[in-house]
């Protein structure tokens, strides 16, 4: 999924993360508590949350869009971190990022 290149030797910080079936169309990053996360939306219609430091997926994929996810943004709503996703299915979803 992502490859954080750029340590002193130019080597990746960790191995690439994978999980989406198909391409990744959108992503956003945020701090959730003291954890940096990446939220991705893919052609497979899933939304995935990744721990930025380890590159590992946090929890199962979020499945609710009937088509590819085209946009992702992370914000706060009522003092809770949420991800908003928009899909080619014409639907906007709000996901609670509290874990």
Q: Report which of 62, 68, 63 is spatially closest to residue 88, judged by C-alpha positions.
A: 68
What's the mean pLDDT when you consider all of the chain? Answer: 89
Kindly report the CA angle at 25 between 24 and 29, in degrees rounded to 5? 85
Give how far Cα 16 sits from Cα of 4, 23, 39, 47, 71, Å: 8, 14, 15, 17, 22
Whole-structure pTM value: 0.83
76-93 pLDDT, tens digit each? 999 999 999 999 999 999
Residue 3: pLDDT above 70? no
Question: 21-50 pLDDT, tens per residue?
Answer: 889 999 999 999 999 999 999 999 999 999
Residue 96: pLDDT band with limits 50, 70, 90: very high
């Amino acid at each position: 999924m992502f490859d954080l290149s750029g340590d002193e030797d130019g080597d990746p910080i960790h191995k690439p993360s994978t999980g989406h079936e198909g391409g990744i169309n959108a992503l956003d990053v945020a701090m959730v508590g003291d954890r940096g996360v990446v939220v991705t939306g893919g052609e497979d219609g899933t939304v995935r949350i990744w721990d930025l430091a380890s590159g590992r997926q946090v929890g199962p994929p979020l499945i609710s869009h009937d088509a590819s996810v085209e946009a992702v943004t992370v914000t706060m709503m009522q003092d809770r971190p949420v991800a908003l996703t928009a899909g080619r299915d014409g639907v906007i979803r709000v996901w609670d990022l509290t874990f």
